[in-house]
Amino acid sequence: MKIENYALYLRKSRADMEAEKLGEGETLARHKKILTELAARKGLHVGKIYHEIVSGETIAARPQIQQMIQDCYNGLYRGIIIVEVTRLSRGNQGDAQAILDCLRYGNNNNGILVVTPTKTYDIAHNQDDEEYMEFELFMSRREYKMIRKRMERGRIQAVVEGNYMGSYRPYGYDILKSKTGRTLLPNPEEAPVVQNIFTWAIEENLTPGKIAKRLSSYGVPTYSGDPEWSVSTVKTILTNPTYTGKVRWNDRMRIKTMVDGKLVSSRPRSHHGDQYMLYDGKHPALVDDATFLAASKRFHSDKTKSGLKLINPLAGILVCAKCGKAMCYQSYPARPETAARYTHKSSQICKVKSAVASDVMDAVAYSLEKYISDFEVKIDNLPEVSEDTILKQMDDLQKELIRQEKKLTRLFDAWEDGLIADNEFADRKAINNDRIASIKNQMDHLEESIPVKEDYEEKIMSFHDALGSLLDADLDADIKNAYLKGILDRIEFSRECNSEFILDVFLKED
């Protein structure tokens, strides 16, 4: 007889982490003991134990569950042993659906059992189990969001009170935790280095590059212990208000965007954003405010105040296709006969041959002309459809969708209050979900049929304006740059050896 294998999945929750801080022991070890004993009592053979050691909100951030899902689809397991259903997912609806699909269609479409200390679920063959599993995953997500909100409120309050809440210590300080908060203490070896950096920047007017070279020549180790200092590290120190006794928060908020169907996380700097916080800290300052302002002002670009004038029409647009670094506009005022060029920033890894700037501009102009031509062709090929009729139908469907979703909410409330039986709840929910799915499908089809003539006409006007500005020799580069940024996301530049350069133009998303 073939032995059926089961996967054992272990993952910590935030509540587990807090309990461990209170001395309740290591969570995963305790759960492993509970689940292995459960498997022994039930006579289940554990094929593999998946230890999720990273804390991730989504399945994409948790490699172990990704591997387990793939193994389930490959037919390696009859079921998953877990301490509770919510350990599988606290992600969004997409993650919950990925889990449910695996439980339905895994094990070569025979379904995957979920075994917990209190109940075994078989959603592939039991509708009640499926409804309960959906509800558990939904409530798990809501609870996760509430926990996140409470934690964020707590962190914000701590910052207002002057606590240092950064994950890592800034160079020059050590983190000091106490019952009353979390603050910083000057590091006796690093603090004088920080003060010297500010002194050299102001009194000797040294650039970050020269300061980095001096520190490296003195043998001063960096934050990581590396003897070689980088320009960016020195610049970060000179622009960090923490050294004036301040604490900041949301300086680099995590922003999530969808790119090519994948969730991409980034942390752009937002020194003056609505969420940026700067308060007096509990820690001592290493430099005074006047020193900090004098050292850091050169790094805050303000073209109007500094009198600088933008000369690169493709600033913030033209990047290297290989590494993503910005291509630099190099002009030669002392040599008027030498044409300006676009060059790659200095790099030991990525080497890209430069190109004459006017040739690049001509190529961009040609690309804009092609886009205009394409939009004009698309307008000529648009079907004749009454937009008013479609919008009226969309409005009616939207109202009906809202009505059906309210009915579904009331249905859940009635079931939770015990007013309707489980079977009746499941039947009525299935009917309601089918209706909602049908309405959404109708809306999708209608959206695809809405005329886009006006959109194309607006695009053509925008592209004509950008093209006209690019070709106008009398317009300043900052005006051209503004027009181009209005329609372009980026232009990727590539050039191999002596070959012609290639531009890949990416438009802004609508």
Q: For 408-421, how does the pLDDT look when each residue is reduced to its tens digit (9 = 90+)?
A: 888 888 888 888 88
Tell whether the torsion through CA atoms of 276, 280, 284 and 289 is positive or negative.
positive
Could you tell me the pLDDT band of residue 302, with boundaries at 50, 70 and 90?
very low
Please report, for the chain, how many H helices and E strands are present, in that order: 15, 17
Distance CA 260, CA 65 (A): 23
Burial state string for 53-76 with b = 16 or more CB within 10 A and e = fewer than 16: eeeebbbbebebbeebbebbbeeb
Of 285-294, 416-425, 439-448, which gets the smallest average pLDDT?
Answer: 439-448
For the segment 25-37, the average pLDDT, to the nearest whole number, is: 82
Query: What pLDDT score does 252 carry?
Result: 56
Query: What pLDDT score does 447 carry?
Result: 65
Could you tell me the pLDDT band of residue 369, with boundaries at 50, 70 and 90?
very high
Query: What pLDDT score does 378 carry?
Result: 77
What is the tens place of the pLDDT at every residue in 431-441?
Answer: 888 888 888 88
**pLDDT mean across residues, the chain:** 81
The dihedrals phi and psi of 93, each to the nearest 5 degrees, come to -60, -35
Contact 34, 81 (CB under 8 A): no
Beta bridge partners of 173: 186
Query: What pLDDT score does 223 carry?
Result: 84
Contact 223, 258 (CB under 8 A): no
pTM here? 0.41
Strand order in the sheet with 502-507: 318-320, 488-494, 502-507
**What residue type is assigned to position 52 of the chain?**
E
Percent of the chain with pLDDT over 90: 25
For the segment 124-128, the average pLDDT, to the nearest whole number, is: 87
Query: What pLDDT score does 97 carry?
Result: 85
Higher pLDDT among residues 299 and 284, named by residue: 284
Does residue 397 have a pLDDT over 80? yes
Could you tell me the pLDDT band of residue 71, with boundaries at 50, 70 and 90?
very high
Helix-strand-coil split of the chain, %, nearest 5: 50, 15, 35
Contact 247, 165 (CB under 8 A): yes
For the segment 115-127, the average pLDDT, to the nearest whole number, is: 89
Query: What pLDDT score does 82 carry?
Result: 92
Query: What pLDDT score does 490 carry?
Result: 92
For the segment 361-383, the average pLDDT, to the nearest whole number, is: 85
Query: What pLDDT score does 114 carry?
Result: 92
